């Protein structure tokens, strides 16, 4: 019965840290793990989350900042995109051995060939910004999926806005 008492404070600190980072962006996709019987008082070890430096870790740390969004027919990196890309660059700087592919996408309201080229241009815009933040260009590749891989399946402005995107995927 005294074990929970012993680990109580450190778990509280962990929960506080998670709550804090949740405030910085949208709601976390996964709830923190159940506080089971602790075997260590050392909070924040890797046993509670994805392997540090993995794609799963990247997705969890980014909290949505792995994707940047574009206006119709545009490929410029706006201020919101810059914040997201800076966060990506921070992670990539922490794991210098990691490589990443940036996937460029378009909404369905364009012609097929042009969207392939536009997706490539969007992926390169993201790549170039990461390079400007000091990430080695050799670590970053691009691929365009044009309008072939929508993530939002509706045919409305909201869905199209979600589909005009560049997604950074690190390579495990």
Instruction: Give the binding site for other proteins (CB under 8 A).
Output: 73, 75, 108-114, 116-118, 120-125, 128, 142-144, 146, 148-151, 153-155
For the chain, the first-to-last Cα distance in angstroms comes to 42
Long-range contacts of 136-142 (CB under 8 A, 24+ apart): 139/92, 139/98, 139/99, 139/100, 140/99, 140/100, 140/101, 140/102, 141/99, 141/100, 141/101, 141/102, 142/101, 142/102, 142/103, 142/104
Taking the least distance from each CB to other proteins, the nearer of 43 and 152 is 152
Q: In whole angstroms, how close is the CB of 85 to other proteins at the nearest point?
A: 15
Distance separating alpha carbons of residues 154 and 126, to the nearest angstrom: 25
Q: In whole angstroms, how close is the CB of 145 to other proteins at the nearest point?
A: 8
Q: In whole angstroms, how close is the CB of 83 to other proteins at the nearest point?
A: 22
Taking the least distance from each CB to other proteins, the nearer of 91 and 147 is 147
Closest CA to 119 of 98, 145, 85: 145
Residue 46 phi, psi dihedral angles, 5° rounding: -65, -15
Residue 68 phi, psi dihedral angles, 5° rounding: -115, 155
Q: In whole angstroms, how close is the CB of 56 to other proteins at the nearest point?
A: 21
Taking the least distance from each CB to other proteins, the nearer of 98 and 104 is 104
Q: In whole angstroms, how close is the CB of 114 to other proteins at the nearest point?
A: 6
Taking the least distance from each CB to other proteins, the nearer of 88 and 163 is 163
Taking the least distance from each CB to other proteins, the nearer of 82 and 128 is 128
């Amino acid at each position: 019965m005294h074990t929970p008492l012993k680990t109580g404070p450190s778990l509280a600190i962990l929960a506080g840290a998670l709550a804090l980072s949740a405030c910085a962006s949208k709601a976390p996709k996964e709830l923190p793990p159940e506080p089971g019987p602790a075997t260590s008082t050392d909070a924040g070890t890797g046993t509670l989350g994805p392997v540090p430096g993995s794609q799963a870790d990247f997705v969890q740390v980014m909290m949505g900042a792995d994707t940047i969004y574009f206006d119709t027919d545009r490929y410029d990196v706006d201020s919101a995109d810059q914040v997201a890309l800076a966060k990506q660059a921070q992670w990539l700087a922490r794991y210098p051995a990691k490589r990443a592919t940036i996937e460029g996408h378009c909404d369905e309201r364009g012609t097929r060939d042009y969207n392939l080229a536009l997706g490539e241009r969007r992926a390169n815009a993201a790549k170039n910004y990461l390079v400007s933040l000091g990430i080695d260009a050799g670590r970053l590749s691009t691929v365009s999926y044009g309008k072939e891989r929508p993530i939002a399946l509706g045919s409305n402005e909201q869905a199209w806005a979600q589909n005009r995107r560049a997604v950074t995927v690190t390579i495990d």
